[in-house]
Amino acid sequence: MNCYMYHCICSRVKCPTRHFCQALSERLFYYIAVSLLPHDTLCELEAAVENGRALSPILQWHKHPNDYFSREAQMLYFRSLRTYWQELIDLNSPGEIPDTREALLSAFKRLDSDISLEAQVGDPSAFLHYWVLRVAFSGATACVAHIDGSDLYIANAGDARAVLGVQEEDGSFTAHTLSNDHNAQNEDEVSRIRGEHPPSEKKTVIRQDRLLGLLMPFRAFGDVKFKWSIELQKRVLESGPDQLHENEHTKFIPPSYHTPPYLTAEPEITHHKLRPQDRFLVIGSDGLWETLHRQEVVRIVGEYVTGVHQRQPLKVGGYRVTLGEMQGLLEERKAHLSSAFEDQNVATHLMRHAVGNNEFGTVDHERLSKMLSLPEELARMYRDDITIIVTHLNPHVIGAQSRDVPS
């Protein structure tokens, strides 16, 4: 089993959100892994923990407290995960093999539920309770790719995107999108949300292309201010740590908040049977796709992987250029090609294009330098956060596996 995961920031609370994304990226992998384990393996896992024996490698993560901001958080996360696999043992039968689609769905929903429950219990005077509460009120989206042989599953909740790079017979690359964005541009998502609430909320549930006029993605982990009832929000916040002002709950409750939950972490799951011509998978945050078209992303990655960019004719995008300007472009391209492989991996190469791309489709290093040197408080005015994972697919292995599958 190979799992490739991506998580991106989507809320506005800076510090808790940043740590929320870190915790989510660390926790979601293990929720998915546990959900995919056979019943007998889960029983062996529980017996090892119960008797204090050595754990299988999949759980060695909990022995590294530096991965989390405190030992208490590490223990809390482990208890929640253990409760989850104990329930899976009770629900499943000996010899039962989990269904991949159902396992991904269960893992997403259960982790989001645990994040919510952890914020509702605990010692109100403890810093850990303050922390998990602040984290629960921030949020993050997630896009996960699970590859098992030639079966590729995408589980997506939010506005991150998974795009497959397909190499055509002539050597060019085309983009095949494997996920749907969960935002106001997705008519199915708009219909889904409006259908889950009374007709009287038709004009308020989505305003200015945002959920309740505030949140851009329509699916996300955390962000319990779009999920909890008003009564629950008041009770938890008013009985919470002293760091939270007794009236702070008023700024969390969105306007026109009548029939929660409005937000869900339930992923949309798609399946794709990999083919030899499927060469790579790009998972990126919304910041990437706002900067570059999906076909441009696939072209840049494909040319980097194959080296085709060294043989492509120069394009000036329909601009009228003088001979002097053309010479400058050629010199710029020559300099670019001489350093084309300075990036250690293709994700870095793609990031460089996303931040420093110019109208000619090449990297303007002066622009790149300026964009990267913007102060944190100004950067979001010019570009969104960008995170990228590129997974290379082996066409020879995929081809051999596809031939082994009975027709």
Given this model, what pLDDT does residue 121 score? 87
Question: Residue 41 above 80 pLDDT?
Answer: yes
pTM: predicted TM-score of the whole model, two decimal places? 0.83
**Percent of the chain having pLDDT more than 90?**
46
Identify the band that residue 3 occupies on the pLDDT scale cut at 50, 70 and 90.
very low
Once rounded to an integer, what is the mean pLDDT over residues 61-67? Answer: 52
**Spatial CB neighbours of 211, under 8 Å, sequence gap ≥ 6:** 193, 205, 217, 218, 226, 262, 263
How confident is the model over 237-296, as pLDDT tens digits?
A: 887 665 554 444 446 788 899 999 999 999 999 999 999 999 999 999 988 998 899 999
Q: Which range has highest mean pLDDT (30-34, 365-369, 374-378)? A: 30-34
> Which class for 181: exposed (0-12), middle (13-18), buried (19 or more C-beta within 10 A)?
buried
**Percent of the chain having pLDDT more than 70?**
74
Given this model, what pLDDT does residue 15 score? 44
More reliable by pLDDT, 11 or 330: 330
Given this model, what pLDDT does residue 19 score? 64
How confident is the model over 305-360, as pLDDT tens digits?
A: 887 544 455 555 566 667 777 777 777 666 655 444 467 788 888 888 887 776 65
Query: What domains does the chain contain, in order, with CATH numbers?
Result: 2-160+183-269 (3.60.40.10), 165-179+276-404 (no CATH)
Once rounded to an integer, what is the mean pLDDT over residues 35-53? Answer: 91
More reliable by pLDDT, 230 or 3: 230
More reliable by pLDDT, 69 or 144: 144
How confident is the model over 164-173, as pLDDT tens digits?
A: 999 999 999 9
